[in-house]
A = this chain, B = another copy of it.
C-alpha cells in the first residue's frame, strides 16, 4: 500500500545560498562544508515531518554520523543558490541511511550518502525514537 504522505516525508528539498566564508582560496565551496549542508538537510527534513532534532538531543538522544561518502562532481561558488535534496533511504533499529544531492540549476554538484546512528550521552547505541521509526 502506497502512502503518498509518507513518501513525501522521506524526501526533502531546500535552497542553500553559498556564503562567503564557505569558499576557499580556489573560490569554490570548500569540500568540507558540504557536510554542513547535509546536516542542515537532515534537520530540516525532520522539522518538515514535525520532529525537532533539538528536542531529541534535549531528551538525551544524539544522532551521530558513522559513515559519510561524498562524490564531488562540479564546483559551487560564492552566492550560488543551490538546491539540496535529502532522502531517507533506509531505517533500522539504531541506524538511518540518507542520500543527498546538491544541484545548481540542472547540474549536479555533489552526491553523497551517510549512515547516522542513535546513541545516548554515554555513547551507547539507542533504539531510534518511535516518531523516527514510523517516519
Contacts and interface: CB of A to CB of B under 8 A. Distances in A.
Interface string A15-35: 000011101111110111101
Interface stretch (A61-69, A83-91, A126-134): A61-69
Indicate the size class of the contact surface on chain A.
Answer: 35 or more
Interface string A84-125: 000000000000000000000000000000000000000100
A19 B39 contact: yes
Contact of A19 (B20, B40, B52, B66): B40
A135 interface: no
Q: Which 7 A-B pairs have the closest CB atoms?
A: A32-B35, A23-B25, A54-B79, A25-B27, A31-B65, A69-B69, A21-B36
